[in-house]
Structure formats: structure tokens, C-alpha cells
Chains A and B, each alone.
Chain A
């Protein structure tokens, strides 16, 4: 391992968005999502504006929409929950396509779906345009406590270690005619999980020891001096939340 750090969510490209400093992107994404969440549930066109702004950002980042959509499947259980809401919520009922559903439930579901989808796409765009190492630097610059950033750093590194270790173990099991689909093999699978934990830990521990041996004290040295942020970059970073804020303000004025 050691070097397999490009995470699977990252989409390699050299766009304006990729080049933006990580802390600016995190702040921008955070601001945008907060505004999306603050958008009242009855509104319609502000959500369209939010989506349009996000699509422009995706275009500027040169990340194909199909790439993000494929990864948006994390939203599926959430969609299932939103779809169930009109049926389980109380309140006045309305008929939709011959089904009697709760009206407040329907409105809440629509708003949750819109907010959820926008949130997922924003997060995925951030992940697609930011290397994990840069993300850590960005969080540190946003004053996230060093210990949390350190744990997160190990987590980012371990995801690859654990995945590689699991692949090796499953090759070893398959080579000895193990079939994970057969229920009588499930206890083996469960115990493998404990072994995976110890093995991944020992692998990661060796990497950590090598780091300690070279004077590591808890934070990666930032080798390159932080690049100066130009006004154009600040503008680009502020664009997404600004558009969302304008949409919200417009909604408040125009109704």
C-alpha cells in the first residue's frame, strides 16, 4: 500500500474547481448546503436555481454528470424513506394517482428529496475535485481541532489498507474453496472481520512506526508554502453560496 491514496471518489482533472484551495471549497459547499436546507419546504423555483447553480459548478469542474449520478446511489435508502413519508404521516389526506396520502407528508417528502439530492451532489462534487490530503489541510486551516484531523488522516489512509487486506484474505479463502454465499460459512466471515481488524491495524502500525521514526509528531508537514489566494479564486469559491443566498432572498421577497 503506502501510495494508493487517490481515493475512489476523486475524479482526476485540472479544472478551476480542482485548483481552488480546499478550505475555500469546504466553506463554499458548507455554506451552499446550509442555504439549501434553510429553503422553505413549500418553495419550488429556488430549488431549481440551487440545482442550476450546482450544475454550472459541475460543468466548471469538468466532472461528468454520469460520474456523480453513479455515486449518488448512497441516497437510495434516503429516497425510500422520503417516499414512505406521505403514507405514514398524519394530517389532511389528498388523492394522488388514486392513492390517499398525507398532504403535509407529501410536502415534507418533496422538500426532503430536493434537499437531500442537492446535498448529496454537493458533497460528491467536493469529493470529486479535492484530494483527501488537501481536504485534511483544508480542514486544519478551517481550525478543525488537530486531533480530529489526525484521526481523519489515519482513516483516509486506512480505507485503502483495509480494502487491500480484505482482498488478500478473500483470495486466500477462495483458493481453499470457501464460498461466501453459503450461510454455513457466515461465522467464518464474521471471525474474518476480527482478523481483518488486527491485520489492518498491524499493517497501519508499521506505517505509523516508520512515520514516527522520521520525527512525525501528529501533523503532516505542509511541504509547499500555502499558495496565495487571488481575488478570482475567492469569487469562484463564493459563487455557489451567493447564488443560493440570492435565490433565498428572492423567494422571501417575491414569495
Chain B
């Protein structure tokens, strides 16, 4: 089998106040997969995500374990390349967008990689096109709607040409139309995706495989449809399907 894009082994972590969030997480994601990471509020999903690009982890000395991205271990000396390979779209687009215009914001990452001039413009144009925001390039991000801001946030990460795209609660706070538009964008992308969510229909729509993070460990791993259909498993980990939603039925 090929080297997994994402290889996590025995990851533990405790918050600075002493509360332990991760109790030994193991997860492998292979090239081209779209995996949903499901879990109730407070399961440690966002904490886990912050380990993937080394924001939390070895340097913060509050946990152990090993993470490799396409064979490269996440360490202090590899952080720059790791952060290019792992593109995280944070839950709140306002945390992600801080430059005066959409174009500048999308250019921020590639410019840090050293791109300039025509090459940079090409990257920015390509990323904006993939999320359908080309027409908004010169607008200030805070003048856009929430859904548009989230799409720009996705573009800022795509412009880095990551090997794995990590989406933290991509559908949260979106109206149904924006939610559907974002799903169409993600479905079109030719990139490995790890989607952290408790929006179960969204997971079923976009990801063939799902894992459940609960109590700081992975407690289930399988085809999304099978995981969602296991009522006992779902109930044990506070995961509930929306009223009237039946995972066995094609949507």
C-alpha cells in the first residue's frame, strides 16, 4: 500500500489547564480519499485538527504521538513544508481572512511560499475560480456574505496547493443554498479531504468514509452509510441524525 497522505499514531494531548482532550488517536487517510471526522461537541475534533499542521503538538510539550504527512513527520524543523501540505479551513472565516482585499488574502499564503508577479496572480486566479469568487477579487472580505467569506477561506487554502484539505465544520452557519454551493465546490476538487463535522447528511453527501472521534479516541471507522446506519453506535456517541433523514435511502 502507498504511503498514506495522513498517518497519525498514538496521539495524546492535554490542554494547558490539565484537561486531557486526546487519548491516543490513530488515523490513516490515503490519497484521493474524502473522509468525514464525526464527533459530538467537545470530542476534541478541533484540537485534533490543530495537530495536523503542527500548531499544537510536539513543540507544546503537552502530549505525545506521531503524525506524518505523505511520509514527512510533523516536527519543528519540518513545519514550513507541513503547513504547505496541510491546508486547514478554520471554522470561522473571520479568523482566516485578515487582508484588505480578497485578492490579497488569497495571495498571502503563496506569497509566503515565495511566489511573485505573474506566477502569484495565476495561483490566486485559479484558486478564486475554483470557488466561484473571481468577480469579488478586489472586494474587502468583510463586505461579503458569510457563505462567500467561507468560500474565500477555502480559496486561501487551495492557493497553497495542499496535499490534504482539512475543513473544520464547513457547513456551520450556512444557509441551505450556500451549504449546497459549498458542497458542489468540494465535490469538484481533486484533492484529499478530511472534513470535520457534526452535519451528518453533509458527511454522507461528500465522504465515502467516516470515522467517529469520541472521548479522545477513534471509536468507529467505516463506510459513511454503514456508520450512520448503526443506531446503537451513533447513540452511544451523542450523534443524532436530523429529523426525517434516513441514511439508507439515496438522497
* Contact assessment for A2 and B95 in the assembled complex, using a CB-CB cutoff below 8 Å: yes
Known contacts: A5-B100, A223-B107. The answer to whether A215 contacts B80 by CB under 8 A is: yes
A176 to chain B, nearest CB (A): 24
Proximity string of chain A (206-238) to chain B, C-beta cutoff 8 Å, 1 when within and 0 when not: 110111111111001101000000000000000
* Contact assessment for A2 and B98 in the assembled complex, using a CB-CB cutoff below 8 Å: yes
* Contact assessment for B100 and A2 in the assembled complex, using a CB-CB cutoff below 8 Å: no
- Cα–Cα distance between A216 and B160 once the two chains are bound (Å): 12
Pick from B4-12, B83-91, B183-191 the stretch touching chain A. B83-91
Known contacts: A157-B98, A209-B50. The answer to whether A216 contacts B112 by CB under 8 A is: yes
* Contact assessment for B55 and A212 in the assembled complex, using a CB-CB cutoff below 8 Å: yes
B112 to chain A, nearest CB (A): 4
* Contact assessment for A215 and B112 in the assembled complex, using a CB-CB cutoff below 8 Å: yes
- Cα–Cα distance between A1 and B98 once the two chains are bound (Å): 8
* Contact assessment for B83 and A213 in the assembled complex, using a CB-CB cutoff below 8 Å: yes
Total A-B contacts with CB atoms under 8 angstroms apart: 76
* Contact assessment for B142 and A207 in the assembled complex, using a CB-CB cutoff below 8 Å: no
Proximity string of chain A (33-76) to chain B, C-beta cutoff 8 Å, 1 when within and 0 when not: 00000000000000000000000000000000000000000000
Q: How large is the interface on B (under 10, 10 to 19, 20 to 34, 35 or more residues)?
A: 20 to 34
Which residues of chain A come closer than 8 Å to B120, judged between CB atoms? 223
* Contact assessment for B95 and A206 in the assembled complex, using a CB-CB cutoff below 8 Å: yes
Of the residues A2, A209, A216, A220, contact of B142 by C-beta under 8 Å: A2
- Cα–Cα distance between A203 and B87 once the two chains are bound (Å): 20
Which residues of chain B come closer than 8 Å to A214, judged between CB atoms? 83, 108-109, 112, 156-157, 160
Which residues of chain B come closer than 8 Å to A3, judged between CB atoms? 94, 97-98, 100, 140-142
Which residues of chain A come closer than 8 Å to B93, judged between CB atoms? 2
Does A95 sit within 8 A of B, measured CB to CB? Answer: no
Does B53 sit within 8 A of A, measured CB to CB? Answer: yes
A220 to chain B, nearest CB (A): 8
B111 to chain A, nearest CB (A): 4
Does B178 sit within 8 A of A, measured CB to CB? Answer: no
B interface SS class: helix
Does A133 sit within 8 A of B, measured CB to CB? Answer: yes
Count of residues in A whose CB is under 8 Å from the partner chain: 22
A213 to chain B, nearest CB (A): 5
Residue from A1, A133, A206, A215 having most chain B Cβ neighbours under 10 A: A215
* Contact assessment for B98 and A223 in the assembled complex, using a CB-CB cutoff below 8 Å: no
* Contact assessment for B95 and A210 in the assembled complex, using a CB-CB cutoff below 8 Å: yes
A14 to chain B, nearest CB (A): 16
* Contact assessment for B95 and A215 in the assembled complex, using a CB-CB cutoff below 8 Å: no
Which residues of chain A come closer than 8 Å to B226, judged between CB atoms? none
Which residues of B144-174 are within 8 A (CB) of A? 156-157, 160
A109 to chain B, nearest CB (A): 44
Which residues of chain A come closer than 8 Å to B90, judged between CB atoms? 206, 209-210
* Contact assessment for A223 and B95 in the assembled complex, using a CB-CB cutoff below 8 Å: no
Known contacts: A2-B141, A3-B142. The answer to whether A211 contacts B98 by CB under 8 A is: yes
* Contact assessment for B83 and A212 in the assembled complex, using a CB-CB cutoff below 8 Å: yes
Residue from A157, A203, A206 having most chain B Cβ neighbours under 10 A: A206
Does B113 sit within 8 A of A, measured CB to CB? Answer: yes
Which residues of chain A come closer than 8 Å to B84, judged between CB atoms? 215
- Cα–Cα distance between A207 and B120 once the two chains are bound (Å): 23
Known contacts: A213-B83, A215-B83. The answer to whether A207 contacts B98 by CB under 8 A is: yes
- Cα–Cα distance between A119 and B135 once the two chains are bound (Å): 45
Does B96 sit within 8 A of A, measured CB to CB? Answer: yes
* Contact assessment for B98 and A215 in the assembled complex, using a CB-CB cutoff below 8 Å: no
- Cα–Cα distance between A5 and B88 once the two chains are bound (Å): 24
User: Which residues of A are at the interface with B, using a C-beta cutoff of 8 A?
Assistant: 1-5, 133, 157, 203, 206-207, 209-217, 220-221, 223
User: Which residues of B are at the interface with A, using a C-beta cutoff of 8 A?
Assistant: 50, 53, 55, 80, 83-84, 86-88, 90, 92-98, 100, 104, 107-109, 111-113, 120, 140-142, 156-157, 160
25 of the cross-chain contacts (CB-CB < 8 Å) are A1-B94, A2-B95, A2-B98, A2-B142, A5-B100, A207-B95, A207-B96, A207-B98, A209-B50, A209-B55, A209-B90, A210-B98, A211-B98, A212-B55, A213-B53, A213-B55, A213-B87, A214-B108, A215-B80, A215-B83, A215-B112, A220-B108, A221-B111, A223-B111, A223-B120
Known: A3-B100, A210-B88, A213-B83. 15 other contacts (CB 8 A): A2-B95, A2-B96, A2-B97, A5-B98, A212-B55, A213-B53, A213-B55, A213-B88, A214-B156, A215-B109, A215-B112, A215-B113, A215-B160, A216-B108, A223-B120
Ordered nearest first, which 9 A-B pairs have the shortest CB separation? A3-B142, A215-B112, A214-B109, A221-B111, A206-B95, A210-B96, A2-B94, A2-B98, A2-B97
